[in-house]
Amino acid sequence: MKLVNFAGLAIVLLMLSACKKETNVLEPENSLELLKDSAFYTVNGKEYVSSQIEKGTTLTTQSNMKITSGVNFNYLLQGDQDSLLFTRSFTIKAKNSFMILYFIKVYNNAETEFATENNGGWLNYPKNRMDIFSPGTYRYATDFWRNNSISGIAIRIINDNGEFKSYGQSDLGKPASVTQADQRDSKFEIISIRKRKSDYLLEAKFNVSVFDDNKKVQRIEDGYLRFSVLKVL
């Protein structure tokens, strides 16, 4: 009858266990999880780079606004009763530049639900939270804070030359100062939206014309964005 060397067997098992642990430690991490927020763009040829991208506000307001006559012909504004404008904003900070990026969409009320998100306030959120970040090409919402009828993107930027926006003035009693014709050569494209362990990572490229109150224009070109847009619920 053969005798079993229990001491030797124990040593072998310990060595195998140690190798297994070491293998787990050395296992490569998912490169998607390691990607950091990043943004860069040029304004009239001057380059800006940022790694400071933060979630701004999430809000709803009336959509398809128009002027109506009230009592004694008072100036009144009225929006659709069966739809709303939903927007999420993000701030992008670079040296001598502060940009606010808005994702905007008009939703039928039936497409929304009264809910809360990430311990935030209660709001009419789209039932499909990712819909507003779907890959594709988007136009610029030139009537943002005016008629609120265009779904798409809006950009506001403050730099050494002042404040500039991709949309126009808000007074419906005056002609629109920025129209779709002004953004004919502008485009915002969401390249991808990828799910990670705790959030969703968006990647986009863009160019756009932005205007001050006197219609002075600055051109943003070669824009690139990669940042976290939503936590996984």
pLDDT tens digits, residue range 28-59? 568 999 999 999 999 999 999 998 999 999 99
**Residues 123, 112: Cα–Cα separation, whole Å:** 9
pLDDT, tens digit (0-9, with 9 covering 90-100), for 118-174: 656 799 999 999 999 999 999 999 999 999 999 999 999 999 999 999 999 999 989
37 Cβ contact partners less than 8 Å away, ≥ 6 residues apart: 51, 52, 53, 226, 227, 228
Number of other residues whose CB lies within 10 A of the CB of residue 2: 4
For the chain, count helices (H), then strands (E).
2, 15
- CA-CA distances (angstroms) from residue 40 to 73, 184, 224? 49, 22, 5
Q: Which of 9-23, 139-153, 161-175, 198-212 has the lowest mean pLDDT?
A: 9-23
pLDDT at residue 70 greater than cutoff 70: no
pLDDT of residue 207: 98
Is the alpha carbon torsion for 232, 131, 136, 187 positive or negative? negative
**Residues 180, 143: Cα–Cα separation, whole Å:** 9
